Amino acid sequence: MSEACAASWSGALVPAMVRVSQTGAMSADDVVVLPMTAEDWPQVSVIYAAGIETGNATFESAPPSWVDFDRTRLPDHRFVAVHASGTVLGWVACARVSERPVYAGVVEHSVYVHPDAQGRGVGGLLLTELIASTEKGGVWTIQSSLFEENVISQRLHERHGFRVVGSRRRIGRSVAGPHAGRWRSTILIERRSQTAGVD
């Protein structure tokens, strides 16, 4: 994977569309989406680790180092959702799927929300920014693989214009977490832009 995509951040401080929780713990104006920086990494890494622990987010068994993350994820298309208190609530990032020029506009993404902030629209906020940013940068396809058990992520992506390409039967075996040792099936999803790569 390289960082050849020469896009720039879409620039908007995304107005929070976050739904107010039943406890009223988060108001609709409390969250902004910002470019991810090295300073965010400690909190991003904790959120990444929490997702890994569920066993339904990724085959990875531990978050990478910041150096590896920074090297492999496109710098113009990685974001954090930040509460007014400064707490990072979630993150999204993507990487090119291939070095081949023909696939220059195809990326694979990940989106993770802190367990305490899930179910309030933060994931949707992050995906919205990723889609805007990548489309502005000429990316025409965003793809990802989701575990078939991860119905919340499937729902989130369906809501944001992703379609199911197909399912992969027992494509890999989990090495850690609650499903360690089990062969897992995934669902390949993609979102084809209607504004980028249409000439």
Ligand X SMILES: CC(C)(COP(=O)(O)OP(=O)(O)OC[C@H]1O[C@@H](n2cnc3c(N)ncnc32)[C@H](O)[C@@H]1OP(=O)(O)O)[C@@H](O)C(=O)NCCC(=O)NCCS
Shortest Cβ distance from residue 56 to ligand X (Å)?
6
The DSSP code for 168 is E
Closer residue to ligand X, CB minimum distance, 30 or 197: 30
Q: And the tokens for 125?
A: 């906020």
Strand partners, 186: 147, 168
Considering only the stretches 65-73, 130-138, 152-160, 170-178, report the one whose residues sit in contact with ligand X under the rule CB under 6 A: 152-160
Short-list 45, 36, 44, 21, CA closest to 130: 36
Shortest Cβ distance from residue 199 to ligand X (Å)?
30
Query: Which residues in 80-139 contact ligand X (CB under 6 A)?
Result: 110-113, 118-124
Query: Which residues in 42-61 contact ligand X (CB under 6 A)?
Result: 51, 54, 56-57
Shortest Cβ distance from residue 101 to ligand X (Å)?
27
Closer residue to ligand X, CB minimum distance, 143 or 193: 143
**Is the separation of the CB atoms in 7 and 137 below 8 Å?**
yes
| Site size for ligand X (CB under 6 A) | 22
Shortest Cβ distance from residue 96 to ligand X (Å)?
17
Question: CB burial class (10 A; 0-12, 13-18, 19+) of residue 153?
Answer: buried
Please pick, from the candidates 28, 98, 159, 173, the single residue that binds ligand X as defined by CB under 6 A: 159
Short-list 21, 15, 189, 2, CA closest to 120: 21
**Which residues are CB-contacts of 77 (< 8 A; sequence separation ≥ 6)?**
5, 7, 9, 93, 94, 107, 130, 133, 134, 137, 139
Q: Which residue is nearest to ligand X (CB)?
A: 123
Shortest Cβ distance from residue 150 to ligand X (Å)?
5
Contact positions vs ligand X (CB under 6 A): 51, 54, 56-57, 110-113, 118-124, 146, 150, 152-153, 155-156, 159
